[in-house]
Amino acid sequence: MPAHFSSSGKTDLSLRYLKQLSKEYPSQKAAAARIVSLKTWMHLPKGTEYFFSDLHGEHKGFLRMLKSASGTIRDKIETLFTGSLSRKDRDELAQLIYEPEAVLRIRQQGQELNEEWYYLSITRLIKVFKAVSAKYTRYMTRGKIPPDFMGAIDELCYMDEDESRAQYHFGVIRAILDTGIAGAFISSLCAAIRKLCVARLHIIGDIYDRGAHPDLIMDELMNFGDVDVLWGNHDILWLGAALGNPALIANVMRQGIAYNTFDLFEDGYGLNLRPLSVFANEVYGGDPCQAFQMKGKYNVNIFDTVDPDLGARMHKAMAVIQFKLEGQLVRRRPEYGMAARDLLSAVDYEKGTVKINGVDHPLKDTHFPTIDPKDPLKLSQGEEELMRALTASFRHSGRLQKHMRFLLSHGALYLRYNGNLLYHGCVPMNSDGSFMRLDLGEKQGYEGVELFDRIDKFVRDAWFLEYDSEEQIKARDFLWYLWCGPISPIFGKNRMATFERALLGDKSTHKEHMNAYYSLVEEEEACRKILSEFSLDPDTGHIINGHVPVKIKQGESPVKGNGRLYMIDGGISKAYQGTTGIGGYTLIFNSHSLALAQHPAWDNLDDELFDSPVLQVVEKLPKRMLIKETDAGERMALEIKDLEDLIAAYRSGQLQENQSSDSVEVFDPDSELALSGKKSIDKKEGSA
């Protein structure tokens, strides 16, 4: 009997796997070439990871951060040119890399484009390119260069000091100038520099809401490649709306109208708002809706300008519908323990008051023509028709559905990556430091990492289970709990006081109390406990999360727990910059250190040129970190072992080589997808 068959006649599982692997590596030569590539790359420095949090639709601010590599490019320019270039020239070089088309246009308008400037700019850019590509192989570097100029850039970047070669490279630049393509060449070279500076993006939640165009951020992330997303409650809000959860659709609409993001609704996602505008005018036409005025100062609509009075009426219409639908949901799901949030049922409609915690509070607005005091949660016929129309619009928006699928395929509730723990909000904790337990009406409650795993499954069930099945509706409802529930890890507060902020003048009722986590993680003990709970080393690991803006101007620090936690919501959203005093944070993890980039609070995001952020190293690594010490390195070591087993199977005769189709793979080690063979986040291994 052949060695690779068991007594039952079934092929051994490990050999079956090797047989599948042989389809990709049909010979010893092909497998050995792959091993050489993997072992070579393992000794390169790790790529630079960038962590962004709470983008909240600020696409222009995000693109600025990405184009500047959050200050890394400017830092490299300072290292290369301090002493040889003036501060003004260094500033101009940085701006050229960030926005080459804008700089070229400005210089052309000022008649400042000439051969000398082109020549100096190209030679300086080549020097920057060589510096930022030093940690990559030539093959990896070529993958970042636009194909039109790959040959010329490749030649210029690998010139030596030999005089004849120097003349050759001068000839390359001369040819670029003579053919009139210097501007296009510079733009391509700058794009390649920017790509080489960012190996991987981690988005720590809340891409959506408040800002004008989260859809454009999603487009950028989908085109970037190596990116993962940790879901925030605003992302889950949109995911649930796209799935047709009516309570979340009402929330999305109310919040979007409040922040005047009509361009996003109608131009970005093609949502039909006409039924809402007609309904709002019919029902609230004579109502000033003073409590529901839009916060329009943050967003300026280009395509869909809406009269402020109509906007206020639409806002009120959706708020009332939201309060009704949420009341229905908490009655339908008593296991959430949120019955107290059914505030429409606590209103005395004759007196115009609402009872909260035994206290009667007067309402700022008492005109509710669609509410039946005897059945306050029932939608009127007009409201039902409106919600059917809105639900169909959300469900049928192709671009929205595409973006939500990306959130599912590249997203998770948490991620372990290169020894760090990433999540958006918090690990719910009691004041004594124990983990809070969420009872979902199942056999047991969940806490800590088990809670995160169970929630992650709920989210995926909501998307992938048969639509409108009992289990899918249960999971779809739970997305609303994730949005605003008291033990939701991505909300982290005792309640969401939307009703109180809109309708009550007593500001003490507006207070939302943060989970004990946010005070506990100021100390190292709680951070170490969390890292251990998620099977990470508390001596070397870090927690990276966002969700709560760090009030820099009030003396708060993003570094918590003696350096074990980084809270990196610094106010990218313009709505928060008055509180934080800055324009956001980026955490940067390269092979040498962890650094925080503090971005300026930009007054005008339409300005083509902008200041670089301030970089501060917050932790130096004891030695330079190589690929072999990362999660990717661990996966590579496993692949090497599999390939060695494949070679052994060829040599033993268990598998036959197919030398006729032998082709040595040119390995692209720049792509982590090539290492793992996966497209979605593996929470256990931190792969993507």
Helix (H) or strand (E) holding 327: helix 308-332
609 pLDDT band, cuts 50/70/90, is: low
Sheet holding 565-567, edge to edge: 414-417, 420-423, 543-545, 565-567, 559-560
* Residue range 478-487, pLDDT digits in tens: 999 999 999 9
Residue 48 DSSP label:
P
What is the overall mean pLDDT for the chain?
A: 86
Using the predicted structure, report yes or no on whether residue 5 has a pLDDT greater than 50.
no
Contact assessment for residue 19 and residue 642, using Cβ atoms and an 8 Å cutoff: no
State the residue for tokens 């001596």: 539
Q: For the chain, what's the residue count?
A: 688
Q: What is the mean pLDDT of residues 7-29?
A: 81
* Residue range 331-377, pLDDT digits in tens: 999 999 999 999 999 999 999 999 999 999 999 999 999 999 999 99
552 pLDDT band, cuts 50/70/90, is: low
Q: What is the mean pLDDT of residues 36-44?
A: 92
Contact assessment for residue 531 and residue 421, using Cβ atoms and an 8 Å cutoff: yes
CB-neighbour burial class of residue 464 (10 A; exposed 0-12, middle 13-18, buried 19+): exposed
Using the predicted structure, report yes or no on whether residue 9 has a pLDDT greater than 70.
no
299 pLDDT band, cuts 50/70/90, is: low
- The dihedral of CA 171, 174, 180, 186: what is its sign? positive
Q: Which two tokens stand for residue 578?
A: 């008055």
Using the predicted structure, report yes or no on whether residue 505 has a pLDDT greater than 90.
yes
Specify the pLDDT at position 680.
Answer: 35
Q: Which two tokens stand for residue 88?
A: 């003004």
Q: Pairing state of beta strands 414-417 and 614-620?
A: unpaired
Specify the pLDDT at position 301.
Answer: 62
CB-neighbour burial class of residue 539 (10 A; exposed 0-12, middle 13-18, buried 19+): exposed
Residue 85 DSSP label:
B
* Residue range 676-686, pLDDT digits in tens: 333 334 433 33
Q: How far apart are CA 460 and CA 675, in angstroms?
A: 25
Q: How far apart are CA 102 and CA 106, in angstroms?
A: 6
State the residue for tokens 């709920």: 458
* Residue range 659-680, pLDDT digits in tens: 765 554 444 444 443 343 333 3
29 pLDDT band, cuts 50/70/90, is: very high
State the residue for tokens 């192709």: 398
Contact assessment for residue 323 and residue 376, using Cβ atoms and an 8 Å cutoff: no
Longest dimension (CA), the chain: 94
How many C-alpha atoms does 82 have within 13 Å on its Cβ side? 6
Gyration radius from the chain CA atoms = 28
Q: Which residues, including other chains, have CB under 8 Å from residue 243's CB and lie 6 or more apart?
A: 395, 404, 462, 463, 476, 479
Helix (H, G, I), strand (E, B) or coil at 356: strand
Helix (H, G, I), strand (E, B) or coil at 615: strand
Least confident window among 93-107, 129-143, 389-403, 543-557: 543-557
Helix (H, G, I), strand (E, B) or coil at 507: helix
177 pLDDT band, cuts 50/70/90, is: confident
Using the predicted structure, report yes or no on whether residue 170 has a pLDDT greater than 70.
yes
Q: How far apart are CA 373 and CA 127, in angstroms?
A: 73
More confident residue, 319 or 6: 319
Q: Pairing state of beta strands 585-589 and 414-417?
A: unpaired
Helix (H) or strand (E) holding 409: helix 398-409
Least confident window among 36-40, 102-106, 305-309, 484-488: 305-309
CB-neighbour burial class of residue 84 (10 A; exposed 0-12, middle 13-18, buried 19+): exposed
Cα-Cα-Cα-Cα torsion 326, 328, 330, 333, nearest 10 degrees, comes to: -130
Least confident window among 18-27, 180-189, 345-354: 180-189
What percent of the chain has a predicted confidence (pLDDT) above 70?
Answer: 86
More confident residue, 12 or 368: 368
CB-neighbour burial class of residue 359 (10 A; exposed 0-12, middle 13-18, buried 19+): exposed
Using the predicted structure, report yes or no on whether residue 1 has a pLDDT greater than 80.
no
Specify the pLDDT at position 557.
Answer: 80
Q: Which two tokens stand for residue 395?
A: 């469900």
Cβ atoms within 10 Å of 150's Cβ, excluding its own: 16
Q: How far apart are CA 122 and CA 196, in angstroms?
A: 17
Helix axes 115-132 and 150-157, enclosed angle (nearest 10): 70
Q: Provide the residue type at 604 as one letter.
A: N
Cβ atoms within 10 Å of 478's Cβ, excluding its own: 25
Q: Which two tokens stand for residue 113?
A: 């484009």
Q: What is the mean pLDDT of residues 54-70?
A: 85
Q: Which residues, including other chains, have CB under 8 Å from residue 357's CB and lie 6 or more apart?
A: none
The residue extents of the domains of the chain are 13-42+629-676, 49-204+546-625, 226-408+431-544
Long-range contacts of 283-288 (CB under 8 A, 24+ apart): 283/313, 283/317, 283/369, 283/370, 283/382, 284/313, 284/316, 284/317, 284/367, 284/369, 285/313, 287/313, 287/316, 287/367, 288/312
251 pLDDT band, cuts 50/70/90, is: very high
Q: Which two tokens stand for residue 107?
A: 């210089």
**Helices and strands, counts by H and E, the chain:** 27, 15
Query: How far are the Cα atoms of 97, 236, 320, 326 from residue 379, in angstroms, in the given order?
Result: 55, 24, 9, 12
Q: Facing residues of 544 across strands? A: 422, 566
Q: What is the mean pLDDT of residues 282-311?
A: 81
Q: How far apart are CA 52 and CA 146, in angstroms?
A: 26
DSSP letter string, 184-229: HHHHHHHHHHHHHH-SEEEE-S--SSSSS-HHHHHHHHHHH-SEEE
Q: What is the mean pLDDT of residues 49-53?
A: 91
